[in-house]
Structure 1
């Protein structure tokens, strides 16, 4: 009598595989969620740092003052806001004109804009009372500023969980991103 070789998998093997995959997914979901929230913070902080760096470089290149402004929105109803998640780099005050195309001639002479929905929809900005940073032709800032980037959707910031970040600007024009949860003696700390 011939014996048949079994090919394929049984229903019990499928069910066991699904249970194991479900357990692994349940264990990994909190870490993955924290990673997503931290990524949004990093995207927003890097965008602010890059915007500040661009504003400084444009000020030096153009040999004139260039403004980096945090704004409420990038539409025609925009207003300056120290909690604004959007930003505009321009030569003039962009209030009410943030939706204008970049131009060297048409006020507010916008260089670049960034909307908050670009990679960081849950990030929260706190510029601690500073909504405008102006760089002069030497690349120096008119004021020192500290911009904190958090994400309340992901919970509290800590060294072991979600990583909140801070972007600092010195009056000398130094722009730096650091982690406030780390010690000041740490090169990545504030």
Structure 2
């Protein structure tokens, strides 16, 4: 009589059932990871937009405005003649809408509230007298993800035009902390 080769149908069903249970346990943690990746994507997009605005201001030796939408995390970079000017369509350098990428349900809150623009001068410094925002907090809506699971990120603007992304929830000893 020959020895048995392979595996039986019962063994295969048990293996598939065990794999299904393990996958069902892992799915919620993958959901949190995906949502936190969306927060990071939106924060990096805003940080990159600010860096583009600063670099273009130096390159053009002109005033360049970074305008963040007060509704979502979309933004536009444009050259302006006066600090009070809005971004005209023909002077637009670069823009990003929320439909580009996976930033749905991500909120961007500026400090001080109400001012969603920063103007860089030809030296790459923040234009004096424009009352720019100094930080942007990027987080997920609490209807989508609990505050405990969410990994909020913050973008800080220094007076000299420096742009830094950090995590406000980390301790002082961590270099990623604000």
CA distance in 1, matches of 2:62, 2:46: 21
Alignment of 1:183 with 2:171, yes or no, is: yes
More moved, 109-118 vs 177-186: 177-186
- Counterpart for residue 111 of structure 1: 93
CA distance in 2, matches of 1:121, 1:43: 11
- Counterpart for residue 147 of structure 1: 136
- Counterpart for residue 162 of structure 1: 150
Report the aligned-residue RMSD: 1.8
Unaligned runs of 5+ in 2: 81-85
- Counterpart for residue 68 of structure 2: 70
CA distance in 2, matches of 1:189, 1:181: 7
3-state SS of paired residue (1:47): helix
After TM superposition, list the pairs within 5 Å mapping 1:84-99 onto structure 2: 84-92=72-80, 93-94=86-87
Unaligned runs of 5+ in 1: 72-80, 101-105
Pairs aligned (count): 164
Q: Could you list the per-position Cα deviations for residues 24-56 of structure 1 after superposition, in whole angstroms to 9, with x for gaps in the alignment?
A: 112211211111011000000001101101100
The TM-score, its normalising length taken from structure 1, stands at: 0.79
CA distance in 2, matches of 1:139, 1:185: 30
After TM superposition, list the pairs within 5 Å mapping 1:15-30 onto structure 2: 15-30=13-28
The TM-score, its normalising length taken from structure 2, stands at: 0.84
- Counterpart for residue 34 of structure 2: 36
